[in-house]
Chain A
Amino acid sequence: MEDILVKLGYCVEFGKVDKNAPYPPDMKGQDGADELTKQAIEQGISAAVILEDALVAAMNRVGQKFTEKKIFIPQMLMSAKAMNAAVAHLKPFFNSGEITRKGKFIIATVKGDLHDIGKNLVKMAIEGAGWEVIDLGVDVPTEKVLETIQANPDAKIGLSALLTTTMGNMQVTVESIKSKYPSNAIIIGGAPVNEEFKTKIGADFYAPDPQSAVSYLNR
């Protein structure tokens, strides 16, 4: 049983999605995250064990390597893809309540900003870490974020801005959230954003990369 979990973790860590996937080249023709998860369930391993011991543990290693600049976006995305292939088999167990997500995370690129690459990367990392992510997309007005918090009162929030000119909109959104929902943690990120700006606008955390957002949520 442990053997298959180790293999599954390895597939997620190195981005082996399924048997037919060409990447990584040295694993050609071998079972990937897709097949191994299915086999693990058939062997009677509990969904919780598969999720925690294999998948989440592997994504933690991926996050760590990303932070240390040992791997970059392409490798991280391949891991996320493998992770998603595995999680697809766990859907019924989420639905039945046998396993649960760590919590909900609302993510959006702020109003006026159409850039989604950074937001998507953070989304994948946080999903990979076992959170349910509600993705509001790009150019998201404050009201939309507020409505979503109202419907998901325990959710944490992540806001992204790539442009210096939309940092002002980020400030408006953060201030509106804080005045209505002061206890919901807000993480901000994006090229022009920094620690100083976080303090200025009253957000809770500045994440320079996806992994630090994950670490903050899991703390």
Chain B
Amino acid sequence: MTGKERVLKTIQLEQTDRTPWVPFVGCHGATLLGLTATDYLKSANHIVNGISKAIELYNPDGIPVIFDLQLEAEALGCELTWADNNPPAVTDHVLTNGKTLSDLIIPDKNSGRIPIAIEATKKIRELHPDIALYGLITGPFTLTLHLLGTDIFMKMMEAPDEVIEIMEFTNEVAKTMATYYIEAGCDIIAVVDPMTSQIDPTMFEQFVTPSAIDLFSFIREKKALSSFFVCGHAEQNIEVMCKCKPDNISIDENISLTYVKDIALKHNISFGGNLKLTVVMLMGTEEDNQINALECIDLGGNKGFILAPGCDLPMNTPIENIQAITTIVSDSYQQKVLRAKEKSETSIELLNMKDYGSTGKVIVDIITLDSESCAPCQYMVEAVKHIAPHFDGLVEWREHAIKKMEAVSFMNSLMVKNIPTICIDGKIAFVSQIPPKQKLIDTIQSRLNEKLKNIILSKNAELTIITQDETSGNELKSNIETAMKETGKHYKININTTEKLASKYGVYEFPAVILTEHKIKSQGETPKVEIIKEWLKDL
């Protein structure tokens, strides 16, 4: 199934093999090419290259051509202020500067940057026939706001007819833009109307609904699919948005996915969202992104859900973060692992592993998802199981399937992050890859040798008798020798009569015995301060 098929089917509530993934790459395309937002958004070639790069890096099922809600406003004569790191901002609202509605004309194919948008769409369509292409148009309400500025809010109350008249015009602009994008090859027209989050459902129905119904039915007649994008706290309007009959609605992290899902599916409309843009995508780690994506996938369910960010990706979103999402979307095995880990990560007690692995035997722990259902886990367990008998009882192994709480706690205590992992005496030895037989044997053998050496060296103790006369010293020595003989142990015995040594150990009555034990605490590594502190506590 191609990405395009996956997106189109999902939008129409048909079954697909997995959740489709649509990263909203806007100015982020400039980052991928090392350009400023200004240079990028003003060149069809740059946009084509940026989107092609994004397709190569993120393997999406669908992608927007351009994410720039100022394009129509600019074509209608609003002044834009350009920035290097952001889309431009509308800084002059044309209808508040002496112009009237009758001065405005519907943009043609040569107005403003429309020719750039059309050219970019055509080229991307040609280069990437299997990706669903989104043509993004500024929603009529948001475009009206660009034309009127914040005056729109008071005009809605004081001069509603005037606002409705402008809305009728901006809706014609939207239909024209939709036509341009569809003709150039877009599959889906996304009507992006974020400012509708600022009004209530009654006003939405009064000002937005009439034009939106007309716009979505127009897109349908043109044989394209449609999506209604909103962002911000727009819960109150989800129901009225659905009643405008788009094919899909898309929301951001401010609205709960389950809330939208319930309403959308009730209206037989598919839905998308709501990856967290800033805290997670821009500022989080790769793991945060995978967790967030999986949450969305699980909440969205397998009917009519498209995984997407809530809005235009921040320009400097780390590439690895987006790629981490790509991985989790397409790999159901990784999803299972993450789910099992996530299930219990809150409220896990960490075990005290300080003395783990200090017994005579070598302990091999295999952390798995579950060796019965996960193939790599199964092979890893079998590898260990197979070689253990060679060590004749000196090697003990066990599997920790993290479907169980204790296993998760064990895994976290050993700081294991990947599944499956082999730990030898509490230390991570093999991650994800199943070790070749000989390598596994060698690793266990070298740990055994190390232990043996420790055992031998720990026997390296000595007894010092401090005395003032040889007679009492010799008597004591003979008692010690008897005790050694009876316990089968042999340590070196010294007899010392110097006062210097007595004062060193603080001995003031004689005879005295000093036992000095030499214990190897580490070798072949530089233990951290924390670890050394633990040793010192024992003294």
A interface residues (Cβ-Cβ under 8 A, vs B): 15, 21-24, 69, 71-75, 77-78, 81, 112, 114-117, 120, 163-167, 191-192, 194, 196-197
Contact = CB atoms under 8 A, between A and B. Distances in A.
A72 B199 contact: yes
B154 A77 contact: yes
B153 interface: yes
Contacts of A116: 150
Contacts of A75: 157, 200
A74 B153 contact: yes
B83 A112 contact: yes
Contact of B158 (A22, A191, A194): A22
Contact of A115 (B89, B158, B279, B282): B89
Given A163-B86, A165-B86, A196 B279 contact: yes
A74 B156 CA distance: 7
A74 B85 contact: no
B199 to A, nearest CB: 5
Nearest to A208: B233
B421 to A, nearest CB: 31
B322 interface: no
Interface string B245-285: 00000000000000000000000000000000111001000
A202 to B, nearest CB: 16
Contacts of B231: 191
Contacts of A73: 153, 198-199
Q: What 4 pairs across the A-B complex have the smallest Cβ distances?
A: A164-B314, A23-B157, A74-B153, A73-B198
A73 B197 CA distance: 10
B157 A74 contact: yes
B158 A164 contact: no
B282 A164 contact: yes
B514 interface: no
A22 B314 CA distance: 42
Residue with the highest number of chain A CB atoms closer than 10 Å, among B91, B154, B157, B203:
B157
Nearest to A76: B153
A21 B81 contact: no
Given A114-B81, A120-B150, A72 B198 contact: yes
Contacts of B83: 112, 165
Given A163-B86, A167-B278, 13 more contacts: A23-B157, A23-B158, A72-B236, A73-B198, A114-B89, A114-B91, A164-B277, A164-B278, A165-B83, A165-B86, A165-B316, A166-B86, A192-B277
B157 A72 contact: no
Nearest to B195: A117
Interface string B61-105: 000000000000000000001010110010100000000000000
Residue with the highest number of chain B CB atoms closer than 10 Å, among A71, A72, A77:
A72
B199 A74 contact: yes
Contact of B157 (A15, A194, A196): A15
B511 interface: no
Residue with the highest number of chain B CB atoms closer than 10 Å, among A21, A74, A163:
A74
B160 to A, nearest CB: 9
8 contacts: A15-B157, A69-B236, A74-B154, A75-B157, A114-B89, A163-B86, A164-B278, A196-B279
